[in-house]
Amino acid sequence: MSLFNNYYKGGKPMSFYSNKIVKSSFDEAVARVTAELQKEGFGVLTEIDMKETLKKKLQVDFRRYKILGACNPTYAYKALQVEENIGILLPCNFVVQETSEGTISVSAVNPYVTMKSVGNPEIEIIGAEIAEKLKRVLEAL
């Protein structure tokens, strides 16, 4: 399992996400992610149920898969003061999904990697700070 412990490994950039398999039900995992995000100052602004959406729009069956859009208002405001179009990269998404093996996987965006693409050193610092908070969320699950 790879968390955001190093932003670069062997000179290569880390992945745009990190994940963890959790020992809980799907609904418990969603609740735990939400609670741990709150401890780090985040609220869940959006919740997209892909199973429901794909059934409704395409009439296909899909596994349980939710996208949680999390925002920390303090960091969002700080980032918007530095880069006016940073909202394109917000909020920080978490995915809770059932895997083909029947386990529950929780994935989180790596905001350092996504914000580094902006090319603004001040935004990179903010991304690194947010990455540490999201790392703690994953570790607590």
Whether residue 4 lies inside any domain: the answer is no
Is 7 a domain residue? no
What pLDDT score was predicted for residue 7? Answer: 45
Examine residue 54 and state whether it is found in any structural domain, yes or no.
yes
Report the pLDDT value the prediction gives residue 15, as an integer from 0 to 100.
Answer: 84
Q: What predicted TM-score, i.e. pTM, was given to this entire model? A: 0.88
Q: Is residue 9 part of a domain?
A: no
Instruction: Indicate whether 105 belongs to any domain.
Output: yes
CB-CB contact of 45 with 69 (8 Å): yes
Domain extent at residue 31 = 21-140
In whole angstroms, what separates CA 87 from the centre of its chain? 15
**In CATH, what number is assigned to the domain containing residue 89?**
3.30.310.70
> Which pLDDT does position 93 carry in this prediction?
97
| Residue 99 included in any domain | yes
CB atoms within 10 A of CB 137: 24
Residues forming a β-bridge with 44: 70
Residuewise pLDDT in 10s, the chain (141 residues): 344 444 444 445 578 899 999 999 999 999 999 999 999 999 999 999 999 999 999 999 999 999 999 999 999 999 999 999 999 999 999 999 999 999 999 999 999 999 988 999 999 999 999 999 999 999 999
Backbone angles phi, psi at 66, to 5 degrees: -120, 140
Q: State residue 3's pLDDT score.
A: 43
Total of domains in the chain = 1
Q: What is the pLDDT of residue 13?
A: 55
Residue 104 lies in a domain: yes
